[in-house]
Structure 1
Amino acid sequence: MEKKTHRICEILDKLTLDALHLIEEEVQLKLNLENAMIGGESHLAKSRYIMGQNNVSALQLPTEDGKEFSASIKVAEHDSETLLDNPELQLKTVKKSEDESVQEPLRWFGVLVPQNLSHSQNMFRQALQWAVQAVNVQIRLKETINKIGVLKEAKQMAKLEE
């Protein structure tokens, strides 16, 4: 029985190290997300300065009365049979040929937009990718923590049997 407890302790140690690595990865992803958001907001502010505050504002965004449109990037679950218990999120780009209601958001602000506006769009897209990766890490971390809890209970049961 002591061998069983020792094996559980080894697995617990490995899972705890995995959890620490996942926490570190999550913190790094959130820092990257924050930097991408700050960069996107900065480029958006520069675009607003260049084009004027009325040309880059909520007035250019579509309204409820406007033409219907679909998102050009959507978050979807990973379709894999090996990940049945571990749903992983991924970004899916919707092509205009698949869905005619997809619009290029930069066109809401005119035909000739400053380069800063497209840089801002790219930074926000990168932020979305960082956010999805952070959520995937959180899912893996939660599963690891659940496994640790189960093994702690198993360890207590093994000690009682000894």
Structure 2
Amino acid sequence: MVEDTEDLDKICNTLDKLTLDSLTLMQEQIELKLNAENAMIGGETHLAKTRYILGQNSVSSLQLPTDSSTEFSALTTVNTSKDEHGINQFDLESNKPDNEKYINPIKWFGYLTPQNLTFAQNLYRQALQWIIQAANVQTRLQEVCTEIHHLKKIKNEIMNK
């Protein structure tokens, strides 16, 4: 009985710690999502300014690649790996534009582009980084919630003895 009480105390302390961890992760995830949202809004604003400066037909979907466009590779890719606990982790990999297969998307809109278009591109890159961080926080949060659920089952088994 004493051993069960000690185990129950350890489980309760661990549950308390994990609950605080989950709240911290939730707060971090909300902040990251807000940062990403603000960056996306800023990028859209700069795109609108660019469209105003260059004209409505100069910045539109007509500049985007189509099926008949030449093949190209992305400048940034998202990689998935597993950490020591088997949890998916995401990270960005910047590819070096060392050959003609890599095209800077800003060149789709011409070679002399307004500074607002570059600002928009940088804001979208920042938003992507925040989204990747939010995805990593989400996977950690899911793992913590799974562990909380598991410990609650063990706690209920001990209490029902």
1:28 correspondence with 2:31 = yes
What is the CA-CA distance between 1:102 and the residue it aligns to? Answer: 1.2
1:16 correspondence with 2:25 = no
Corresponding letter in the other structure for 2:27? E
Aligned partner of 1:51 among 34, 51, 54: 54
User: What is residue 96 of structure 1 aligned with on the other side?
Assistant: 97
Q: CA RMSD in A?
A: 1.2
- Deviating more after overlay: 99-108 vs 67-76: 99-108
TM-score, scaled to structure 2: 0.94
Where does structure 2 lack aligned partners over 5 or more consecutive residues?
A: none
Q: RCO greater where, 1 or 2, for CA within 8 Å and sep 6 or more?
A: 1
Q: How many Å separate the matches in 2 of 1:124 and 1:61?
A: 16
Q: How many Å separate the matches in 2 of 1:83 and 1:22?
A: 19
Q: How many Å separate the matches in 2 of 1:40 and 1:72?
A: 18
Q: How many Å separate the matches in 1 of 2:123 and 2:134?
A: 16
1:2 correspondence with 2:5 = yes
Q: How many Å separate the matches in 1 of 2:121 and 2:15?
A: 43
User: What is residue 121 of structure 1 aligned with on the other side?
Assistant: 121
Q: How many residues align?
A: 158
User: What is residue 64 of structure 1 aligned with on the other side?
Assistant: 67
User: What is residue 136 of structure 1 aligned with on the other side?
Assistant: 136
What is the CA-CA distance between 1:160 and the residue it aligns to? Answer: 2.3
What is the CA-CA distance between 1:100 and the residue it aligns to? Answer: 3.9
What is the CA-CA distance between 1:86 and the residue it aligns to? Answer: 1.8
TM-score, scaled to structure 1: 0.93
Q: How many Å separate the matches in 2 of 1:135 and 1:87?
A: 9
Corresponding letter in the other structure for 2:50? S
Q: Give the percent of matched residue pairs that are identical in Structure 1 and Structure 2.
A: 49
What is the CA-CA distance between 1:84 and the residue it aligns to? Answer: 4.9
What is the CA-CA distance between 1:136 and the residue it aligns to? Answer: 0.5
Q: How many Å separate the matches in 2 of 1:17 and 1:72?
A: 39
SS in 2 for 1:140: helix
Corresponding letter in the other structure for 1:95? K
Corresponding letter in the other structure for 1:141? L
What is the CA-CA distance between 1:101 and the residue it aligns to? Answer: 1.2
